[in-house]
Amino acid sequence: MHQLKAIQGDITQVHVDAIVNAANTTLLGGGGVDGAIHRAAGPGLYAACLQFHGCPTGEARITHGFRLPAKYVIHTPGPIWHGGNNGEDKLLANSYRNSLQLAEENDCHTVAFPSISTGVYAFPLARAAHIAITTIRDFLKTSQVVAEVEMVCFDPTTYAAYQREIKEE
């Protein structure tokens, strides 16, 4: 049985096999959730990310979780919003799909996502929530390993958007 839910909270505190980091293309930390994950994981995460020499938008890389409760961190750079006619929807879907594929390949049964690209990258929240939930649901239909996905929302507005999208099944 696959489960998909939204919670409001701090993704650095969630006890799952893997958390997803809404990274930038350097993978070396930044603002928002990316900076919070790097601070909570400690310097080992930075050192592990250095070895990738970056990551293209929509792709994903995996590291250990270091000081985090999660065993792994999956890093995916989401797209920066440029009006919606520059492939942003496809790139965002790829961020979720490629992250879930890495979770599957690394035997992660539980995965927690932040709302990718809806902070400083300015992706419209309702549109991003729809893409995220649709992509996750499609993946879970054929998943052999990933059984539970949580959308960990930092604020009430984001939580409400994902709750609405999950309920509209």
Segment 77-128, tens digit of pLDDT: 999 999 999 999 999 999 999 999 999 999 999 999 999 999 999 999 999 9
Q: Which residues pair with 5 in a beta bridge?
A: 150
**Residue 43 to residues 12, 19, 61, 91, Cα–Cα distance (Å):** 15, 17, 17, 29
**Segment 38-54, tens digit of pLDDT:** 999 999 999 999 999 99
**The predicted structure's pLDDT at residue 169:** 61
Residue 168 has pLDDT above 80, yes or no: no
Q: How confident is residue 1, by pLDDT bands cut at 50, 70 and 90? A: low
Residues linked to residue 6 through DSSP beta bridges, in sequence order: 151
Domain holding 142: CATH number? Answer: 3.40.220.10
149: confidence class by pLDDT, cuts 50, 70, 90: very high
Mean pLDDT of the chain: 96
Residue 55 — left, alpha, or beta (φ > 0 → left; ψ -120 to 50 → alpha)?
beta
Q: How confident is the model over 66-74, as a mean pLDDT?
A: 98
Between vectors from CA 159 to CA 118 and to CA 130, what angle results, nearest 5°? Answer: 60
pTM given for the model: 0.97
Q: How far is CA 48 from the centre of its chain?
A: 18
- CA-CA distances (angstroms) from residue 64 to 67, 137, 145? 9, 26, 18
pLDDT at 125: 98
Predicted pLDDT of residue 67: 98
Could you list the residue range(s) of the whole structural domain that residue 91 is in?
A: 3-167
At 52 the pLDDT is 97
Active site residues: 34
19, amino acid identity: I
Q: Which residues pair with 22 in a beta bridge?
A: 76
Confidence of residue 2 (pLDDT cuts 50, 70, 90): confident
Total domains in the chain come to 1
